[in-house]
Amino acid sequence: MHAFRSARLFFPNWDQNLAERLIEEFQVPLKTRIKKLSRGQLSAVGVVIGLAARAELTFFDEPYLGLDAVARQIFYDRLLEDYSEHPRTIVLSSHLIDEVSNLIERVLVVDRGRLIMDEETDAARDRAANIVGDSAAVEAFVAGRSVIHRESLGHVSSVTVMGRLSAADREELTARGLDIAPVSLQQLIVRLTQHTAETSPAAQEGALR
């Protein structure tokens, strides 16, 4: 395929053996012209070039579009495998947050053109917690805390609060009969973007009209 032949010329760190392995794993039809490829096949071509090029800085912009679950997992496995052997800067843009959460070392979230998160992944996971239990007890505990989401069903509430919980906080939760549920990275990002939208000056102005 012309795309792969051209890539060999442009990227000095090109690994032909890796490229051939990936082409076989993704079943890229080498005799088919680029414009005749399906969405998934085009994504596979981009993945092959992105990994085999071993450029110092590589951008993958939702590289899994059109790929099924098996092909996406192959991409994630090969990405980690090759990165561990050849460390470099790889930027992965994705809406499948939980699916890629174990791949990334740092999280940057851009919402409406604004950067609302820039943190190490492990630190981001500890930024929030879901407090679950009797609504009155939950509200008493979260009073004065930064709340980014609320859900209620009958007398039971689940409230997402920002900030790491201390040992004293956990003792208080136990005393109140409340549970702590983890917040996945995807939940955190969704809650943060929703909260940012609700508290933005534009939203407040619209609410006053």
Last residue of some domain: 43, 71, 106? 106
Number of domains in the chain: 2
Assess if residue 57 is contained within a domain: yes
Residue 200 belongs to domain with CATH number: 3.30.70
Q: Are residues 41 and 84 in the same domain?
A: yes
Digit-by-digit pLDDT tens for the chain (209 residues) are: 788 989 999 999 999 999 999 999 999 999 888 889 999 999 999 999 999 999 999 999 999 999 999 999 999 999 999 999 999 999 999 888 889 988 999 999 888 888 988 999 988 888 899 999 999 999 999 999 999 899 999 999 999 999 889 999 999 999 999 999 988 898 888 888 887 666 655 544 433 33
Q: What does each C-alpha distance from 142 to 155, 167, 176 come to in angstroms?
A: 16, 15, 12
User: What H or E segment, with its residue span, contains residue 120?
Assistant: strand 114-120
Tokens of 100: 């890629």
Which pTM does this prediction carry?
0.77
CATH code of residue 95: 3.40.50.300
Q: Which residue has tokens 């992105």?
A: 50
